[in-house]
Amino acid sequence: MTRITALERTGWMPEPSRPRTDEASAVDVIERGDVLFYPRLAFPVLEDEAPLFSPAILSTAKNASFDPVSDRVSGTTLPTAAAQRLRGLMRRFSDAAARLLDDILPTYRGRLQRARASFRPAEIAGRVSSWRKDDSRLHVDSFPASPVQGRRILRVFANVNPHGKPRAWRVGDDFEALADRFASRLSMPWPGQGTVLELLRVTKTRRTPYDALMLQLHDRMKEDDAFQRGTAQTAMDFPAGTTWVAFTDQVSHAAMSGQYQLEQTFLLPVDAMMDENRSPLRVLERRFGRRLA
């Protein structure tokens, strides 16, 4: 089983001469739940940004965060001047990722909402955490405090490791198989629960039944040792200087090792897809026989 598809590209700017067949191929790859991999697409790091490449810059356990709406960086202990350089690095990557998707996925043009970017300078391997927060266990992405309300989670990743070390992933089975395996262990939230959580400020917006089910799926996957050991999966090392794109709400994935990664998150309405029946929202709606968002 392989769930990685490699396509050729070397630059972050639009490529008008690129064959239209590449566009259809890229959309089909990610909508069927595979990872779109660009083995020769490196994100450039500027010389004065090199001092930022240390886990000592973090004030949180996993990453520094950039909000493109407010143009603010959080999660760092850096003094003002160095924090400005970090903001510049992350803003450049956020802008580059947006241009990339606009070019390779024109079907989604004008429909993608840019969310937060992150810089992850800490090594994954050996990090101690609870099973729920352990990203080395196969999972699909779901945001506890920021409900997506049925929208897709599309992410662009770049390995910018200055020492040439890869980022090691495991990529699991397709979402239909996950739904078949875990649907009986998921339960609908009680009526009004999402509104109460929003009023109590547990969540930023209303948590829909879809969000509740996806959070449960994330947890049921991570806590199931037999699933982690026995499910079909592909090991993949993403070398330094490469980029990859995936719907991480659909692609079951685990990050096993690696240090120094940039990541940009986008949200996409389901009706912007070429085939929305492939979306986790529609898959779960078929399983539960009702609208979920």
Q: What string of DSSP letters covers 66-118?
A: EETTTTEEESB---HHHHHHHHHHHHHHHHHHHHHHHHH-GGGTTTPEEEEEE
What pLDDT sits at residue 24? Answer: 67
What pLDDT sits at residue 200? Answer: 95
Structure tokens of 198?
């929003």
> What b-and-e string marks burial along 248-275, b requiring 16 or more CB atoms within 10 Å of the CB?
bbbbbbbbbbbbbbbbbbbbbbbebbee
pLDDT averaged over the chain? 94
The torsion angles phi and psi of 240, rounded to 5 degrees, stand at -60, 140
Instruction: Name the percent of the chain lying above pLDDT 90.
Output: 90
* Residues linked to residue 66 through DSSP beta bridges, in sequence order: 73, 117
What pLDDT sits at residue 22? Answer: 64
Mean predicted confidence (pLDDT) in 16-31? 77
For strand 113-120 and strand 64-67, is the pairing parallel, antiparallel, or unpaired?
antiparallel
Is the per-residue pLDDT at 132 higher than 60? yes
Domains of the chain from N-terminus onward: 4-288 (2.60.120)
When pLDDT is cut at 50, 70 and 90, the band that residue 186 belongs to is: very high
What pLDDT sits at residue 127? Answer: 82
What pLDDT sits at residue 25? Answer: 85
DSSP 10: -
What pLDDT sits at residue 20? Answer: 60
Q: What does pTM read for this prediction?
A: 0.95
What pLDDT sits at residue 129? Answer: 81
Is the per-residue pLDDT at 34 higher than 60? yes
* Residues linked to residue 152 through DSSP beta bridges, in sequence order: 268
Least confident of 81-95, 105-119, 124-138, 278-292: 124-138
Mean predicted confidence (pLDDT) in 195-208? 95
Is the per-residue pLDDT at 133 higher than 90? no
What pLDDT sits at residue 21? Answer: 58
When pLDDT is cut at 50, 70 and 90, the band that residue 171 belongs to is: very high
Distance between CA 161 and CA 265 in Å, rounded? Answer: 20
